[in-house]
Amino acid sequence: MGKQRLALWAGQLLLCEQPEEEPCGACHGCRLALGLQHPDLHWHFPLPRPKGVSGDRLADALEQARAERLEERRAEPIQRPQGESREASGIYLAAVQTLRRRAQLRPAMAHEQVFVIGEAEELVVQEASQEAANALLKLLEEPPRDTRLILTSSEPGRLLPTVRSRTVPLHVGRLSGEEVRRLLEEEAGADPAAAARAARAGQGSVGRALGFLPTENGPGPLDKMRKRALELLRVALSLRREEAFAFALGFSPTGARQLADLLGFLDEAIRDLGATLAGVPERAVDPEGAEQLARTLRGRAVHPADAARALAAVERARVLARGNVNPQLLVTGLTEELRRTLLGAPPTPVATR
């Protein structure tokens, strides 16, 4: 947890003018790196594709969007997750080509330059479109002598095997709940009760915990998303199929890649349900939500192993979402598959002509 923060810290250490075990924090290089202004520290991350731009103009538009996002980070280093309003984003081929061109240049100020590529799994936006990852592969195979590349990923299995084989893996573990709670209180100004609750939900990630802090308008964005995932699973388990259809129609007919976070919470809800059914509710991330689902299933025979099998349905939905299929169809098919897996219910007949 804190993978990109660690990567930027490593970049600062490499560019520090008086490095020891840690960056000195006082030299000109450290100050520039901390302000995300060092000319030899390049941070790339997924961005929404600029609308109405293509061809040679796309690379410039993406660089402009990246500069604007970095300026936002400088002004507000602690940023909450956006929740379901987040636009679908990726690291597109044009952005990787810009990165490759810059890597061929000599460092501007230090003795080397560092490229941090956050959420590198988004190099492959679709299974059938691996151009961005392949373009990066050429740089990983033969990097310039004065260039360092640091990739971070929450889903390294989505990276091309050839990309993974050319990197040195480093697992970043979770922060303790107490560390997260303290950071929320000291850096985000959260009150103790809200900080403690968000820290538990954050599971060792400060970024995730921030999404569970309440806002002026009510629950945090990740709280809302978790509840929507629970509702998806509840309607899948309902005996009234029209509920599932009505729920699916609540999604936009486009933008399936925006479902990634929701499917992550659905995965978590199914795991919690399995833990509750197995008699170990203390293992659930959201015990209250898991208990609600267990009450929905009361009187119906569901084995914990069925919950494990249901996770495969969510993974198939993830793959379809990355392919940007119609979200309404995706959710309809997913609720049907979850119902069959968990309840053994037959599929709904579909009239065709």
Report the number of distinct structural domains present in the chain: 3
Residue 353 belongs to a domain: no
One-letter amino acid identity for 258? Q
pLDDT higher than 50, residue 125: no
Residue 258 belongs to a domain: yes
346 confidence band (pLDDT: 50, 70, 90)? low
User: In this predicted structure, which of 149-153, 157-161, 248-252 has the lowest mean pLDDT?
Assistant: 157-161
Q: At 52, which CATH number? A: 3.40.50.300
User: In this predicted structure, which of 8-17, 188-197, 279-288 has the lowest mean pLDDT?
Assistant: 279-288
Model pLDDT for residues 287-310, shown as the tens digit of each residue = 888 888 888 777 677 888 898 899
Model pLDDT for residues 135-145, shown as the tens digit of each residue = 788 888 888 99
Residue 169 belongs to a domain: no
The pLDDT of 51-59, averaged and rounded, is: 85
Host domain of residue 136: 3-164
Same structural domain, 293 and 339? yes
Same structural domain, 205 and 226? no
User: In this predicted structure, which of 77-86, 143-152, 249-258, 281-290 has the lowest mean pLDDT?
Assistant: 77-86
The pLDDT of 246-274, averaged and rounded, is: 91
Residue 80 belongs to a domain: yes
pLDDT cut 70: percent of the chain above it: 93
Q: H or E element: which one contains 89? A: strand 89-90
Model pLDDT for residues 68-86, shown as the tens digit of each residue = 999 999 998 888 787 665 5
State the pLDDT at residue 146: 92
Same structural domain, 227 and 313? yes
The pLDDT of 151-171, averaged and rounded, is: 90
State the pLDDT at residue 92: 87
Residue 352 belongs to a domain: no
Give CA–CA dist 339/244, Å, rounded.
Answer: 10
Q: Which two structure tokens, joined as six digits, stand for 2?
A: 């804190």
pLDDT higher than 80, residue 40: yes
First to last CA, the chain: 51
SS3 44: strand
∠ CA 292-155-95, rounded to 5°: 125
Same structural domain, 237 and 315? yes
Same structural domain, 21 and 131? yes
In whole numbers, what is the pLDDT of the chain averaged over residues?
A: 88
Q: Which two structure tokens, joined as six digits, stand for 19?
A: 């490095």
Q: Which of 164, 198, 228 is the C-terminal boundary of a domain?
A: 164
Same structural domain, 246 and 180? no
Neighbour tally for 22: CB within 10 Å: 11
The pLDDT of 96-104, averaged and rounded, is: 92
Same structural domain, 94 and 194? no
pLDDT higher than 50, residue 20: yes
pLDDT higher than 50, residue 126: no
Same structural domain, 149 and 113? yes
Same structural domain, 61 and 158? yes
Same structural domain, 94 and 243? no
Residue 171 belongs to a domain: no
The pLDDT of 324-352, averaged and rounded, is: 80
Mean pLDDT: which of 3-7, 86-90, 290-294 is highest? 3-7
pLDDT higher than 90, residue 281: no
Q: Which two structure tokens, joined as six digits, stand for 352?
A: 């065709």
Best CA proximity match to 43, nearest among 32, 58, 57, 27: 32
Phi-psi region of 199 (alpha: psi -120 to 50; beta: other; left: phi over 0): alpha
Residue 279 belongs to a domain: yes
What contacts 70, CB < 8 A, 6 or more positions away? 36, 43
State the pLDDT at residue 287: 85
Same structural domain, 18 and 42? yes
Same structural domain, 139 and 230? no
Model pLDDT for residues 216-234, shown as the tens digit of each residue = 888 999 999 999 999 999 9
345 confidence band (pLDDT: 50, 70, 90)? low
Residue 348 belongs to a domain: no
Rounded to two decimals, what is the model's pTM? 0.84
Model pLDDT for residues 267-277, shown as the tens digit of each residue = 999 999 898 88
Best CA proximity match to 81, nearest among 34, 119, 126: 119
Q: Which of 164, 198, 230 is the C-terminal boundary of a domain?
A: 164
The pLDDT of 94-111, averaged and rounded, is: 92
pLDDT higher than 80, residue 101: yes
Q: Which two structure tokens, joined as six digits, stand for 295?
A: 């009450």
State the pLDDT at residue 350: 47
pLDDT higher than 70, residue 349: no
